[in-house]
Amino acid sequence: MAGVAVIGKGAITVKLDIRIGHGFDVHAFAKGRKLILGGVEVPYEMGLAGHSDADVLIHALCDALLGAAGMNDIGHHFPDSDMQYKDADSTLLLVHVMGLLREKGWGVGNVDITLMAQAPKLASYIGNMRARMAGLLQLEQDAVNIKATTTEKLGFVGRKEGIACEAVALIAKL
């Protein structure tokens, strides 16, 4: 059901068919793997453990998009028990999710993503991640916001045991 917004003193009623979704993912560091974030390889001594390429940013984003559309989560669509997704490039998973949204008549308005990593420092890679995500989502770069923060040396992220990511997505009926 669409939301209804009343503007002014009830003179104009606008039917808004928009939804917000939230995604969260976390992966532990693992030796012998590449670190891929937002479809971009980030030089680091370790990558992330996972069934696919463990791109924590894309996994959180897929969950946000799927959640907004009421279409379950990434594990439902790409189970880690399915060997076709072993070491899969997560950008391909995002392309598939975008196709599912389009089939249901949804388009993406904007996304806001927060990476949580004590290490490595990610600031110099954010621009490339934004460009890559904008291309995959078919959005202008200013509709894709990616930021990185530390956890001030607290928790598993602060101990440099892994990386976490949260994503929020706004979708609208086309």
Residue pLDDT, tens place only, 49-81: 999 999 999 999 999 999 999 999 999 999 989
The verdict on whether residue 77 carries a ligand-binding annotation is: no
Q: Is 152 annotated as a binding residue?
A: yes
Residue 81 marked ligand-binding = yes
59 has binding-site annotation: yes
Using one digit for the tens of pLDDT, what is the confidence trace for 16-33? 799 999 999 999 999 999
How many Å separate Cα 94 from the centre of its chain?
A: 8
Residue with the bigger pLDDT between 4 and 84: it is 84
Closest C-alpha among 77, 85, 23 to residue 50: 85
Enter the DSSP assignment of 45: S
How confident is the model over 135-164, as a mean pLDDT? 98
Q: Tell me whether residue 151 is annotated as binding.
A: yes
Average pLDDT for residues 77-102, to the nearest whole number? 95
Which of 6-20, 67-81, 85-99 is least confident?
A: 6-20
Q: Binding site annotation covers 114?
A: no
The whole-chain average pLDDT of the chain stands at 94
pLDDT in the model for residue 86: 92
pLDDT at 11 over 60: no
Bigger pLDDT: 28 or 87?
28
Q: Report yes or no: 36 and 90 within 8 Å, Cβ to Cβ.
A: yes
> How high is the pLDDT of residue 1?
44
Determine whether the annotation assigns residue 13 to a binding site.
Answer: no
- pLDDT at position 74 is 96
β-strands 144-149, 106-116: how paired?
parallel
Q: Tell whether residue 142 is among the known ligand binding residues.
A: no
For residue 9, pLDDT beyond 70? no
Q: Is 42 left (phi over 0), alpha (psi -120 to 50) or beta?
A: beta
Q: What is the pLDDT of residue 123?
A: 97
| Domains of the chain by residue range | 19-173
Is 89 part of any known ligand binding site?
A: no
66 closest CA partner among 99, 40, 36, 89: 99
What's domain 19-173's superfamily in CATH?
Answer: 2-C-methyl-D-erythritol 2,4-cyclodiphosphate synthase (3.30.1330.50)
**Rg (the chain; Cα; Å):** 17
